[in-house]
Structure 1
């Protein structure tokens, strides 16, 4: 069963694959919509811990330890791999800046910057090879709006059902007798 925390509903695999950016390759590589073993569930829980830690404290030795532990447990854990690629991107950017921001084709002339650049490229290639595809911000906003529309539709359906029950109840009540007073 899939629980979508964004809209607080149980959702089907079909709905998830149609409404998000999950590729066939990602499904084949079992990085999405696959039952997690206890070991992989533990790794993913550590991944959630890592993301929360990074948001609050940034990348440091403790974050690195968590990331390495995740990859020991599950070498294909997407969270740890994306964090790794993002860290390598920051390192490459710093090295390239230190080298004076040379164009990409001149990076081989700057060994430290070039090594960092290649390391970043390899890390992102590993994530891409698993079939990960990020959702563009505008698509994410549209996705969130679709939840609002679905929620509104559900609320309208529930209201309509409630009104229909009330009408049925009213129809089942005996009809009131109307008494006319001729004196009025």
Structure 2
């Protein structure tokens, strides 16, 4: 076979793969957009799996994953029927469901299979090997969590929210530096935090102890805010863009479109702002490369000058909102501190009424 023909064949093959994958990303974007604009019914599980399916080239086995989710939902329901929560309040039914989900994700549970054999259900573990998805972006996904039984501060709260909605209750995602956790509200004690990476109910002081939570970031809803469902879909849009960026070739305009749509429904979503500014920076690099020059000439051309001004304005807003970047090693140390200082940071009220009786 002539070499030039082989090169064309390979190039065309990759082009077809790229087009097919771009279609999946566009399809996921349209789904998320329709949920935000009320053109289709909100479904967090469907939103999450659409992102993960796009990244995995349409090979996501949703039948298998739904079976896993159904099993966990059934296990949570069985716990509800077999024990009583030591909590008195009009919202006891919901609090009991939250407690059962917490047990399913964090505790060892003795159960019987359909043949009446006894065995222990093991909880999920934290993935310290690749907590940020640097080696494999799949490490960030619920699908990988369900298959490997190891997750992180992204996949664990996402799975919790999915399971909560399977049980007919609401779960609020919340953000901290490099982190996602769950916020609930009880009639007796108000808002409380559920931390799934450590299996603890921490007080707000633990989040402040990171050293990277500025009071302005709390005041502006950057951190520690209970997100509504549309804001949670905005998180999925940023996930979609980040997954899209792992491709060798990608369209910067698609990344910016995802960020803009996320900011439309979550205006102070700093991760979306950072995503957009980074994409705009790469656009500038590409334009200057075409002019055979570098960043020293950024203000020489109207297009790059305009984009650069937008970036400067956005970075100013990010800083004013109270965002401070937290190094990854400090983040991991902060996570470990919760286990090492349980007595200092545990919410005693929640620990007390999460206790159950058979």
Query: What is the TM-score when the length of structure 2 is the normalising length?
Result: 0.35
Structure 2: gaps of 5 or more residues: 1-182, 184-192, 343-358
The answer (yes or no) to whether the contact 1:23–1:133 under 8 Å persists in 2 is yes
**Match status 1:144 vs 2:336:** no
> 1:101 is matched with which residue?
294
> 1:11 is matched with which residue?
202
Go from structure 1 to structure 2 and tell me whether the alpha carbon gap of 1:117 and 1:68 turns closer, same or farther (over 3 Å shift). closer
Report which of the two structures shows the higher radius of gyration computed on alpha carbons.
1
Go from structure 1 to structure 2 and tell me whether the alpha carbon gap of 1:56 and 1:8 turns closer, same or farther (over 3 Å shift). farther
**Match status 1:70 vs 2:262:** yes
Whole-angstrom CA distance in 1 between matches of 2:211 and 2:244: 26
Q: Which has the higher helix share?
A: 1
Structure 1: gaps of 5 or more residues: 155-184
Whole-angstrom CA distance in 2 between matches of 1:76 and 1:62: 20
**Match status 1:37 vs 2:228:** yes
How many matched pairs? 149
Whole-angstrom CA distance in 1 between matches of 2:234 and 2:241: 10
The answer (yes or no) to whether the contact 2:214–2:323 under 8 Å persists in 1 is yes
The answer (yes or no) to whether the contact 2:256–2:279 under 8 Å persists in 1 is no
Give 1:45 shift.
3.3
The answer (yes or no) to whether the contact 1:92–1:120 under 8 Å persists in 2 is no
Whole-angstrom CA distance in 2 between matches of 1:38 and 1:152: 33
- 1:94-133 matches, within 5 Å, as 94-97=286-289, 98=291, 100-101=293-294, 103=296, 107-133=298-324
Give 1:153 shift.
7.5
The answer (yes or no) to whether the contact 1:4–1:10 under 8 Å persists in 2 is yes
- 1:74-89 matches, within 5 Å, as 74-89=266-281
Secondary structure (helix, strand or coil) at the match of 1:109 reads: coil
User: Where in structure 1 do 4 or more consecutive aligned residues deviate above 6 Å?
Assistant: none
> 2:284 is matched with which residue?
92
Go from structure 1 to structure 2 and tell me whether the alpha carbon gap of 1:27 and 1:57 turns closer, same or farther (over 3 Å shift). farther
Q: Which has the higher strand share?
A: 2
CA RMSD of aligned residues (A): 3.1
Give 1:74 shift.
2.2
Give 1:70 shift.
1.5
